[in-house]
Chain A
Amino acid sequence: MSRRPSAAAILALLALTGCPRLDPMQRQLKYKAYQENRLAPDGLAMLQPPAGTVPYGPPLDPVVATGLGPDGKPVAVMPFAPDARMLARGRVRFDTNCAACHGVLGDGESQVALNMSLRRPPSLHLYRELPDGYIFQIITMGFGLMPSYRHLTVDDRWAVVAYVRALQLSQHVTVGRVPPEVRRRLEQEGR
């Protein structure tokens, strides 16, 4: 091949770079929400919903959605009483999302925690005095190295809060509250 056709080919390729994008899907005419739309009756691109439109679900109570009370402070107790189904759901979500760092016992001991040198995940049993809404906020917004778990649904986050309470309770019960036969067995241990 002679040198002249090669140079011509390079020049042709360079000239192609000056072409507009040839893919019509890359640059499309479209309306954005607050643009003008002369085709709409009110001239706005963001169309009004048809008359009689209703929301598909009831609006979420702000306390449930945020864990904050009307005064902006975290609520002490979750806005609904936990039941067995909710706790079982919270256990699954906790084991999936939280136990990797906080440990299955919630005491901050896990393989991931062993590899964290500067700031290990804390034991959840040291924070029994925190309000439920505060725990919900931490799950929602993250804390320190812990990322946000906003991708969990609101119900799932409250279920995790309920399960954390169960975990805290399971590791701190006065011996008087256990069944008598268990208490006798525990008393005999270590003698």
Chain B
Amino acid sequence: MSTNTERPGAGSAEEHGPRSEEDRISTLAVVAVGLGALLVFTLASLTAASYLHRRYVERGPIAIPPEVGASKIGLVEQQLFSGGPLRGERDRARRLERLGSYGWVDRGAGVVHVPIEEAMALVARGARPEGAPAAGAAPPEGQP
């Protein structure tokens, strides 16, 4: 029984060119290098641990920084979403009410808001928001 699996594309030995030179590396040397590296890392770790321990004994325990437990400082500052009524939820209810009602946006300029259903009906009839480009208008420079 042959142990070779017939694979498409697998050619004869001549297709692979001349055989490469065999490795002549002493196994003992490889093991010795590995053990030596382990020894170096162990000594380095012990040295670092003893240095840090000496520093710790000299300075005593370090106080917890006041930033711990505060809001995260990062690209998006995280705040807890739980606990009591959220301002965003209250705002959402107010905005939903505004979305469905008439009211002033800028009384001096005579601008009002209308229910979204009415605006949707207007858009369905072809209306566009003020300032929105009409068909054939020149697009702005740049891409999103």
Contacts and interface: CB of A to CB of B under 8 A. Distances in A.
Contacts of A113: 88
Given A29-B7, A134-B140, A77 B133 contact: yes
Interface stretch (A8-16, A31-39, A57-65, A150-158): A31-39
Given A128-B131, A166-B116, A104 B96 contact: yes
Given A109-B95, A118-B76, A172-B105, A134 B144 contact: yes
B112 to A, nearest CB: 5
A52 B135 CA distance: 40
Contact of B136 (A76, A110, A133, A143): A76
Interface in A47-83: 69, 73-77, 81-83
B88 to A, nearest CB: 3
A74 B127 contact: no
Contacts of A163: 120
B115 A170 contact: yes
Interface centre among B103, B122, B128, B133 (most CB of A within 10 A): B133
How big is chain B's contact interface, by range?
Answer: 35 or more
B114 A170 contact: yes
Contacts of B133: 76-77, 129-132
A137 B143 CA distance: 8
22 contacts: A75-B139, A84-B124, A103-B92, A105-B95, A109-B95, A110-B88, A114-B87, A115-B79, A118-B77, A129-B140, A133-B139, A134-B139, A141-B144, A165-B132, A166-B122, A166-B123, A169-B128, A170-B115, A173-B119, A182-B102, A189-B103, A189-B104
